Amino acid sequence: MAPAAIIDSATEAAHSAIQTTASALAGRPRILVPEKVSAEGLALLREHYDVDTCTGLSPEELISIIPSYHGLIVRSETKVTADVLAAGSSKLRVVARAGVGVDNIDVNAATQHGIIVVNSPSGNIVAAAEHTVALLLASARNVGRADSSLKSGKWERSKLVGVEVGHKTLGIIGLGKVGMKVARMAIGLGMKVVALDPYASPEMAKQAGVSLVENHKLEELLPVVDFLTIHTPLLASTLNLLGEKEFQMMKKTARVLNVARGGVYNEEALLKALDGGWIAGAGIDVFTSEPPEENSMAARLAAHPKVVSTPHLGASTVEAQENVSMDVCTQVLEILRGGLPTAAVNAPLILPEEYRRLQPFVKLVEKMGSLYTQHFARSPHPPHHRHSSMLGGRRFELVYTGELANISNTRPLYAALVKGLVSPISDASGGNVNMVNATLIARERGIAIDEKHVRDHSPSTATYASQVTLRSVSESEHNNNPSSNAAQVIEGYVSGRSVFISKLDRFSANFHPEGTLLVLHNYDQPGKIGNVGMVLGRHSINITFMQVASLDDEAEQTQTQTQTQKQTQTPVVDGPVQPEGQKAAKEALMILGVDGDVTRDVIDDLAKAEGILDVSLVRL
């Protein structure tokens, strides 16, 4: 069978990775396994390749030996840095993560070198959920402290009285694969489960008996829970998600759990919360440094008497290790033979002949999806944009006009949209989406996508040779009022091989969807640009470009009508409320390209600037 090509839409380097693999592997290929990976999968590889298992390598040792290897299989301990990948780039074809999280692998550097990164997205989900339940019960019943007390010769029954979990409320932040499993197990223990996940499908949550927090606000979840568990990836948006302010909102009797990633709870704030009696205890499996560095917050947390701690054991069961080992070793075997992986982190699949024509559109649609999630599907939103769900439970329509409408196989564009939508909320960059699994992942997330080819795009009226429109409405809007014009819209086009966004929401624009962008919804009045410039200057953020996007014609007419209605005291159903004295101002979007560290403080300060209605931070 001829080797198929695998192409990462971000770079052409990955294009040749699979094609060249078979021919590049003269002699018996070698695979390095610097961590404990279950023997079942490795046995599969040993039939064809030399497999070297050697644990305890220093970063320098890894860099010095990696040039001899064609495959590298790791868990969470080995840091696969840009330096390791550069050192291995002449032979290395695949880095496999025997587990879920790829935060220890520089995926961008791998992509640049044409090295495929694969993982096992669901092999250890049951293990992680069961470990969460183990920590839930251990922290409720002081199992860790009781065990060490008894072993040290004490018999402290009255000091170690616990609490029951039955009839208590468990809060879950992140209702993905692990979060959903934990929810089902907790319901089995007689708990009530409330979850916060702006991107989860309300329908799936309802079916599992989980209530979703309506407005996706932590302040609505935290005061009501007796136990809290987090199951989000570690992303810029989830780093330090819970700090002092959040722990202070919780019941003094509450206990918190973390079997996801160190850093989602701010470790210093968690220590303060435990020492100050703001909460009662914690069960922690993951830390910001692993193993915790001496005297670090992580080390103090692991040693804290109110914490039951485990050394990142969430996936450490015999069964999970067999699953992930088989998953990734099968993929390594396939890749080194010139075949296709099933869970490639950095490589959606496009056949070579489709690649030339579709690649810029794949890039455009992926950017549109990512822009959608970061601009529209984020929390919290101003009231006129608030939806019960932000991603799951929404219906998307991709409309292709112009020459693109004549291409019948637009499957890569469908996959690119799913990838773009889920990548900002997933730790495997791109959420492991490829052409094979895109439909399944969309279904798992409760996302419906329709594609429409508009072939009667007359050249006289066409603005661009090919254009893509992304529209989204909630399932309920779609079912109850299909002709409603409440859709969220993004339009884009390709010129040469460059991609552009030509409409965002109700605003006509023209910008490259690249880099870090701030999108500010505001009233188009003098002084706004200066105010925004001052805030950014104060935070040492450099502006690389700026564009003001005005309401498109249709939206402008609607705004004028709305203003007329307001003046005649007719109740207004949609649109932001204009402050006094700004009745004649038109809405606009200010789109800024920026360099620098855009923290939550920057966003908060921008949101407070006069005349700014809403701010979103978009990384593309």
Ligand X SMILES: O=C(O)[C@H](O)COP(=O)(O)O
Ligand Y SMILES: NC(=O)c1ccc[n+]([C@@H]2O[C@H](COP(=O)([O-])OP(=O)(O)OC[C@H]3O[C@@H](n4cnc5c(N)ncnc54)[C@H](O)[C@@H]3O)[C@@H](O)[C@H]2O)c1
How far apart are the C-alpha atoms of 412 and 474, rounded to whole Å?
Answer: 24
Element (H, E) at 43: helix 39-46
Backbone angles phi, psi at 563, to 5 degrees: -65, -40
Smallest gap, in angstroms, from Cβ of residue 101 to ligand X? 3
3-state secondary structure labels for all residues of 560-613: HHHHHHHHCCCCCCCCCCCCCCCCCCCEEEEEEEEECCCCHHHHHHHHHCCCEE
Partner that binds at residue 197, options ligand Y, ligand X, none, CB closer than 5 to 8 Å by kind: ligand Y
Paired sense of beta strands 307-309 and 281-284, if any: parallel
How far apart are the C-alpha atoms of 366 and 364, rounded to whole Å?
Answer: 6
Token reading at 151: 């072993």
Partner that binds at residue 425, options ligand Y, ligand X, none, CB closer than 5 to 8 Å by kind: ligand Y
Token reading at 505: 């929401």
Closest of 80, 108, 79, 127 to residue 13, by C-alpha: 108
Give the CA distances from residue 246 to residues 174, 240, 307, in Å, rounded to whole numbers and listed in that order.
Answer: 16, 10, 18
Smallest gap, in angstroms, from Cβ of residue 597 to ligand Y? 19
Residue labelled with tokens 């025997």: 98
Smallest gap, in angstroms, from Cβ of residue 349 to ligand X? 23
How far apart are the C-alpha atoms of 576 and 610, rounded to whole Å?
Answer: 14
> Active-site residue among 145, 312, 387, 411?
312
- CB closer to ligand Y, 197 vs 491: 197
How far apart are the C-alpha atoms of 33 and 332, rounded to whole Å?
Answer: 12
Smallest gap, in angstroms, from Cβ of residue 263 to ligand X? 13
Active site residue 290: yes
Residue labelled with tokens 């003269």: 26
- CB closer to ligand X, 266 vs 325: 325
Smallest gap, in angstroms, from Cβ of residue 313 to ligand Y? 7
Half-sphere exposure of 184 (CA within 13 A, CB side): 13
Query: Is 513 exposed, middle or buried, given 0-12, 13-18 or 19+ CB atoms closer than 10 A?
Result: buried
Partner that binds at residue 75, options ligand X, ligand Y, none, CB closer than 5 to 8 Å by kind: ligand X
- CB closer to ligand Y, 196 vs 271: 196
Smallest gap, in angstroms, from Cβ of residue 236 to ligand X? 18
Q: Which residues fall within 8 angstroms of residue 8, CB to CB, at 6 or more apart?
A: 14, 15, 111, 346, 347, 348
Partner that binds at residue 327, options ligand Y, ligand X, none, CB closer than 5 to 8 Å by kind: none
- CB closer to ligand X, 117 vs 350: 117
- The footprint of ligand X (CB under 6 A) covers 75-76, 98-101, 124, 312, 314-316
3-state secondary structure labels for all residues of 253-310: CCEEEECCCCCCECHHHHHHHHHCCCCCEEEECCCCCCCCCCCCHHHHHHHCCCEEEC
Give the CA distances from residue 589 to residues 128, 273, 542, in Å, rounded to whole numbers and listed in that order.
Answer: 43, 40, 19
> Active-site residue among 93, 145, 261, 506?
261
Q: How far from chain centre, in Å, is Cα 127? A: 21
Smallest gap, in angstroms, from Cβ of residue 354 to ligand X? 33
Do residues 370 and 18 touch, judged by C-beta distance below 8 A? no
Give all strands (DSSP E) within 54-155, no chain letters.
71-74, 94-97, 116-119
Residue nearest to ligand Y (CB): 176
Smallest gap, in angstroms, from Cβ of residue 617 to ligand X? 26
Token reading at 452: 């429409």
Residue labelled with tokens 């046995």: 43
Partner that binds at residue 73, options ligand X, ligand Y, none, CB closer than 5 to 8 Å by kind: none
- CB closer to ligand Y, 118 vs 336: 118
Partner that binds at residue 178, options ligand Y, ligand X, none, CB closer than 5 to 8 Å by kind: ligand Y
Do residues 491 and 503 touch, judged by C-beta distance below 8 A? yes
Active site residue 312: yes
Partner that binds at residue 174, options ligand X, ligand Y, none, CB closer than 5 to 8 Å by kind: ligand Y
CA angle 397, 472, 427 (to 5 degrees): 95
Smallest gap, in angstroms, from Cβ of residue 489 to ligand X? 36
Partner that binds at residue 144, options ligand X, ligand Y, none, CB closer than 5 to 8 Å by kind: none
Closest of 9, 7, 5 to residue 620, by C-alpha: 9
Partner that binds at residue 257, options ligand Y, ligand X, none, CB closer than 5 to 8 Å by kind: none
Partner that binds at residue 446, options ligand X, ligand Y, none, CB closer than 5 to 8 Å by kind: none
- The footprint of ligand Y (CB under 6 A) covers 100-101, 124-125, 128, 173-179, 196-200, 231-233, 237-238, 259-261, 285-286, 312, 314-315, 425-427
Smallest gap, in angstroms, from Cβ of residue 233 to ligand X? 9
Residue labelled with tokens 């704030």: 269
Partner that binds at residue 181, options ligand Y, ligand X, none, CB closer than 5 to 8 Å by kind: none
Smallest gap, in angstroms, from Cβ of residue 396 to ligand Y? 16
> Active-site residue among 220, 290, 451, 477?
290
Helices assigned H by DSSP within 339-436: 352-375, 411-422
Give the active site residues: 261, 290, 312
